């Protein structure tokens, strides 16, 4: 019983943290948490972006590097949700 209460409180704290990001509402924060599980798994925002498949591929040859298209290796649903949140932020 106590474990469930602690887990519920941790999820609420994680929701509050996600909702501090501009463009993310309660609904989108809930969907993001449902996809990733625990936000503490990711050490920094870049690791979440890489895990979701939104990071561009990197091509290197002869000492030159260039960014390619997004990798699309992560969750399709999470990627779509993060892009929609970015569009909401851009419109406001």
- For residue 6, pLDDT over 80 is answered with no
Helix (H) or strand (E) holding 61: strand 56-61
Give the pLDDT confidence of 16-75 residue by residue, as tens digits: 988 998 999 999 999 999 998 888 888 988 888 888 888 888 888 888 888 888 878 888
Residue at token pair 């887990």: 7
**Tokens describing residue 35:** 């996809």
pLDDT at 1: 64
Beta bridge partners of 66: 59
Beta bridge partners of 65: 60
Spatial distance between the Cα atoms of 27 and 29, rounded to a whole number of angstroms: 5
Please tell me whether residue 44 adopts helix, strand or coil conformation: coil
Spatial distance between the Cα atoms of 41 and 47, rounded to a whole number of angstroms: 9
Whole-prediction pTM: 0.74
């Amino acid at each position: 019983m106590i474990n469930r209460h602690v887990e519920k409180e941790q999820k609420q704290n994680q929701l509050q943290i996600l909702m501090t990001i501009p463009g993310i509402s309660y609904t989108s924060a809930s969907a993001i948490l449902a996809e990733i599980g625990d936000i503490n798994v990711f050490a920094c925002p870049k690791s979440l972006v890489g895990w979701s498949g939104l990071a561009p591929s990197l091509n290197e040859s002869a000492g030159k590097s260039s960014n390619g298209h997004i990798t699309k290796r992560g969750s399709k649903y999470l990627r779509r949700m993060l892009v929609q949140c970015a569009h909401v932020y851009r419109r406001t």
